[in-house]
Amino acid sequence: MSAQDTPAHPRHHLDPTLGHPVRFSLMAVLAQTDEIDFATLRDHLQVSDSVLSKQVTALESAGYVRVRKGFIGKRPRTWLKATKEGESVWQHHLAALRQIAGEF
C-alpha cells in the first residue's frame, strides 16, 4: 500500500476553530442545550466576560454560533445557540477525536 493509498490521519478532520479550549468547551455546552444565556455559560466555563465574549465572537464569525440579544425587564441579556453548521462541525470534530483516541 503506497502513501497515497493510506487514509488521511483523523487529525486532518479536526476543526482548527475548535482547537481553543474555551471554544471547545463552549460548543460542548451548546451541543447539550437549545439556548443558554451568556452569564450562565460564563459561570459554567469559569471564565471572565471578556474571555467568553472574545471566543463567542470567533465562533459567531465562523458561523458556528448565533447570538441573540434582548431584555428581561430592563436588564439586557445575551443568549447563545449553536447554528446547524456549528452542530455539524462539532459532531465531525468529536468523531475525529474519537478516531484518534481509539485508533492505535
pLDDT tens, position by position, for the chain (104 residues)? 455 677 789 999 999 999 999 999 999 999 999 999 999 999 999 999 999 999 999 999 999 999 999 999 999 999 999 999 999 999 999 999 999 999 65
- Per-residue cell: 59: 465562533
Rounded Cα distance, 100 and 44, in Å: 27
- The pLDDT, as a whole number, for residue 2 is 55
Give the residue from 39, 23, 11, 13 showing the smallest Cα distance to 91.
13
Q: How many CB atoms are closer than 10 A to CB 27?
A: 24
What domains appear along the chain, each with residue ranges and CATH number? Answer: 15-97 (1.10.10.10)
- The pLDDT, as a whole number, for residue 11 is 93
pTM of the model: 0.88
